[in-house]
């Protein structure tokens, strides 16, 4: 990825799981990361094993501070990953979710235009596709905000990337499952039928960087990854830890889906495969851009129930890779 060399990347929310992995990769590829987050504790603790780089304490809710930071540091690209993400909590605090995930994303987009940023990419979620909860709805709107700004922007390219559950990340259920199995606690499963898309942090970083490289404006990028049922996840972890685990079915929590979607039926006519990657590209309906190296996607809509690959050994390999790369 030669386009990364000596380029400045402004990463909002850069102290989370994805942000930390992104910063490490950017430094390795001779890019220049700039982390912008409101968590000074994580800024101090999470990067001790990395070379020094710029860290800014700030909140995307504060347009003035955000805009000034961009004017001072003049980044080439923005990776917008800052968000409130706890699904059950957001059901009871929708106002806070709106302030960060919607208004904050709008602030990032406006500041990107004011500072002539080359490309600005939103890190979205599979929950933005056919949303049923506050978090997913806020990310769905954030995607539309970025697509709309792209339509009206002359110099800045906006796009989004959706993906599923990232193994070993803060938002993943895998670390919680591991903890319960190690402590021989009863593990509560929402349903034995529940499915989730799974991949690693390193894969997530690849998806974000490939999306930046291939974006022409307004698209939503979706990785083609496998999904697994919760019982298969438990069996793989039992094998990993060499322990048996008792489970119980607890039912759906507030805002939970039984199955996730990454690509819905109405998006299929506008979906293409990005050649030489595992990415799908959902193009904006208004797009008149000249696309190359893309093939029309002829597959079905991307639902975790339809894309289940319940191979325990394959999942075990994926989990080991995800944990080792944490």
Check if 127 is active-site. Answer: yes
Residue of 20, 85, 119, 127 with catalytic role: 127
* CA 36, chain centre distance (Å): 17
Q: How far is CA 262 from CA 97, 160, 180, 186, 218, in A?
A: 21, 12, 29, 31, 17
- Report how far residue 212's alpha carbon sits from residue 156's, in angstroms, rounded to the nearest whole number: 12
CA dist., res. 94 & res. 108, Å (int): 20
User: For the chain, what's the residue count?
Assistant: 326
Q: Look at the alpha carbons of 129, 130, 132, 137 in this order and tell me if their dihedral is positive or negative.
A: positive
Q: Which strand ranges, in their side-by-side order, compose the sheet holding 271-274?
A: 54-57, 32-37, 8-12, 77-80, 119-123, 157-161, 220-223, 279-282, 271-274, 294-296
Residues annotated as catalytic are 127
């Amino acid at each position: 990825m030669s386009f990364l060399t000596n380029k400045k990347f402004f990463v909002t929310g850069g102290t989370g799981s994805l942000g930390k992995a992104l910063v490490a990769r950017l430094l390795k590829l001779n890019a220049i990361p700039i982390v912008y987050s409101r968590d000074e504790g994580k800024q101090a603790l999470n990067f001790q094993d990395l070379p020094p780089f710029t860290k800014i304490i700030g909140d995307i809710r504060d347009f003035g501070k955000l805009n000034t930071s961009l004017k001072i540091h003049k980044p080439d690209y923005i990776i917008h990953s800052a968000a409130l993400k706890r699904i059950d909590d957001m059901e009871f605090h929708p106002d806070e979710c709106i302030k960060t995930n919607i208004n904050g994303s709008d602030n990032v987009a406006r500041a990107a235009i004011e500072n002539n940023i080359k490309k600005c990419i939103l890190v979205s979620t599979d929950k933005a596709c056919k949303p049923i909860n506050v978090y997913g709805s806020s990310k769905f709107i954030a995607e539309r905000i970025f697509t709309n700004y792209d339509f009206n922007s002359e110099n800045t390219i906006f796009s989004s990337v959706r993906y599923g559950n990232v193994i070993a990340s803060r938002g993943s259920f895998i670390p919680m499952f591991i903890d319960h199995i190690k402590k021989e606690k009863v593990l509560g499963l929402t349903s034995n039928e529940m499915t989730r898309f799974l991949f690693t942090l390193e894969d997530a970083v690849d998806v974000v960087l490939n999306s930046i490289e291939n974006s022409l404006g307004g698209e939503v990028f979706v990785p083609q990854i496998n999904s697994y049922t919760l019982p298969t996840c438990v069996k793989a972890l039992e094998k990993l830890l060499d322990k048996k685990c008792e489970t119980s079915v607890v039912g759906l929590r507030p805002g939970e889906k039984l199955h996730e979607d990454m690509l819905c039926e109405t998006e299929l006519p506008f979906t293409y495969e990005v050649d030489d990657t595992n990415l799908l590209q959902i193009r904006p309906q208004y797009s008149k851009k000249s696309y190359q190296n893309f093939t029309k996607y002829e597959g079905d809509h991307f639902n975790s129930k339809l894309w289940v690959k319940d191979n325990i050994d394959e999942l075990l390999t994926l989990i080991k890779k995800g944990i080792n790369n944490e």
